[in-house]
Amino acid sequence: MKKYKTAIVVGSLRKESLNRKMAQAFIKLSAENLEAEIVEIGNLPLYNEDLEENVPEAWTAFRNAMITFDAVLFVTPEYNRSVPGALKNALDVGSRPYGKSVWDRKPGAVISVSPGAIGGFGANHHLRQSLVFLNVPVLQQPEAYIGKADKLFDSNGNIKNDSTTEFLNKFIAAFTNWIANNQS
Ligand code: FNR
């Protein structure tokens, strides 16, 4: 079976990010189904339409990289009940120039990760609002709100909790089917 090339966009820029740990755990757990890798967003200059006249190299590299992927997974923290600015910026950078959006019709999924009890629900759904406009078909079920994530990883970044691993395996199976059924 084809392994779908999947970009993972992580909404947190910090080194010890729980979301980055989740992305790395996802890469390992999905290795039989997907060829997944993190695409970095921390070096993208803030979106400014004026820069389209002399496009920053980092924007071009990001746009060119993203179009090579069959699918995209967003793994994001919640900042003030919404998505972090860095992630919104990456969405905006990838959406332009008009008519050349890298997101258009690319099958996607969202995992939100937080030490809090409600698992970044607000960020997860704010992100989905933008993804509707960007024409990303987003996996509906299972939803992935990963709470109490500060207790989730051991010192090597492995998931300590078997039920979370089991859940992620179900999520990966559903996402793989979703990608297969939404190839354009
Ligand atoms: C947070 N945090 C947070 N958590 C949450 O569940 N809901 C929220 O609205 C917010 N708001 C928020 C704003 C800002 C500016 C920061 C820095 C943090 C806490 C957040 O979930 C926690 O720091 C996570 O560990 C961030 O994810 P990473 O960096 O570990 O991936």
Residue 175 is part of a domain; what is its CATH number?
3.40.50.360
Instruction: Give residue 51's pLDDT.
Output: 98
SS3 81: coil
Nearest to 71 by CA among 26, 126, 14, 123: 26
- Indicate which residue's Cα is closest to atom 18 of ligand 1: 79
Say yes or no: CB of residue 19 within 6 Å of ligand 1: yes
The protein residue with its alpha carbon nearest to ligand 1, atom 13, reads 79
Q: Given this model, what pLDDT does residue 2 score?
A: 87
In the sheet that holds 108-113, the strands lie side by side as: 34-38, 4-10, 71-76, 108-113, 145-146
Task: Please count the structural domains in the chain.
Answer: 1
pLDDT of 50 > 80? The answer is yes
pLDDT higher than threshold 90 for residue 102: yes
Is residue 1 over pLDDT 80?
A: no
Alpha helices, DSSP H only, in 44-84?
Answer: 57-66
2 Cα to the center of ligand 1, angstroms: 36
Tally Cβ neighbours within 10 Å of residue 147: 17
When pLDDT is cut at 50, 70 and 90, the band that residue 151 belongs to is: very high
Whether pLDDT at 125 is above 80? yes
Q: Report the percent of the chain where pLDDT is more than 90.
A: 98
- The reported pTM is 0.98
Q: Is the CB of 18 under 6 A from ligand 1?
A: yes
Tell me how long the chain is. 184
Q: Is 79 in the pocket of ligand 1 (CB under 6 A)?
A: yes
Q: Mean pLDDT score of the chain, rounded to an integer?
A: 98
Residue 63 in this model has a pLDDT that exceeds 90: yes
Q: Which residue range forms the structural domain that includes residue 35?
A: 4-181
Distance 78 CA to ligand 1 centre (A): 5
Distance 17 CA to ligand 1 centre (A): 10
